[in-house]
Amino acid sequence: MPELPDISAYREALALRVEGTKLEHVRLASPFLLRTVEPALGECEGQRVLGVRRLGKRIVIALEGELFLVLHLMIAGRLRWLERGAKLPGKLGLAAFDFERGTLVLTEAGTKRRASLHVVRGERSLAAHDRGGIEVLECTRDEFEAALARENHTLKRALTDPRLFSGIGNAYSDEILHRARLSPLQWTSRLDADEHARLFEATRSVLGEWVAKFVGEARARWPEKVTAFRAEMAVHGKFGQPCPVCSEKVQRIVYAANECNYCARCQTQGRLLADRALSKLLHGDWPRTLEELEELRQGRPGINPA
């Protein structure tokens, strides 16, 4: 799912192209995309774009008449900027927004249609789409720590909770926790002052660096390759590859449809976090440390945790 840096890049690129221009026409290829009835989508046509915003992981196009188009890309939704009046692409195309200077096309890979479009009128109605998380690049350390203290969760869950922090998902939470040298399963209530400081600084530095990179690129060209897996990332999507800090192999925890990537040497003092699938396979033989993992690999060639 596109997260804060990616959505910021889309917002920048779109604002440069549509602010001050009119939305001429909206073409829907999938009726399931539109989740609202009132105001009618047709009311947006002919209205001038007053601005483009980011609301958590949503993109908001503000129009005249206090109208707002709220786009949520979910996991597989992506945006393309094409020539004015461009045809919707095959099975992937969900909607086309025709502006004076070009056409914004929304696509979604896969068979599940999760991306959504809401049309709302007024700031109060728009606020209903705000999950309430704080903006980590704008908050103070006290505000950051207060958000962490609202509920007792693991750090991984807390960082990805949109009610606590705005725009952080699976990918960048992995990078933040690696930068902070903290376990994804550490409880928020058990952080000491130094760990609080490291997490705050890591969150701001990781997101700040990626936002600056993507927004800078978006000013030159449309963001075409929006993905959760980047070659420059330290641990996310790098299972089995060397950690850029200590060269130990990156580990992972698999849960539901997601996975959490971490470095045991840098983040958990060499302790391995239990992976549900492999734990079930190995039962009581699950290795607790990197040393035990190496012994397991030597003794059971068919088992390759990393």
User: Where do the structural domains in the chain lie, given as residue ranges?
Assistant: 4-127, 141-218
The first and second tokens of residue 51, run together, are 């601005």
- pLDDT of 31: 86
- pLDDT of 87: 94
At the topology level, CATH places domain 141-218 in Helicase, Ruva Protein; domain 3 (1.10.8)
Q: Do 119 and 34 contact (CB within 8 A), yes or no?
A: yes
- pLDDT of 281: 43
Strand positions, DSSP E, the chain: 23-28, 49-55, 58-63, 67-72, 77-82, 93-99, 103-108, 116-121, 251-255, 258-262
- pLDDT of 288: 59
- pLDDT of 283: 47
List per-block mean pLDDT (blocks of 10 residues) for the chain, which spans 306 residues: 96 98 96 95 98 97 98 96 94 96 95 92 97 96 97 95 96 98 96 98 98 97 94 96 97 83 96 67 50 52 49
Distance of CA 94 to the CA centre of its chain: 21
- pLDDT of 294: 54
At the topology level, CATH places domain 4-127 in N-terminal domain of MutM-like DNA repair proteins (3.20.190)
- pLDDT of 113: 85
Gap between the Cα atoms of 50 and 59, Å rounded: 14
Q: Do 113 and 37 contact (CB within 8 A), yes or no?
A: no
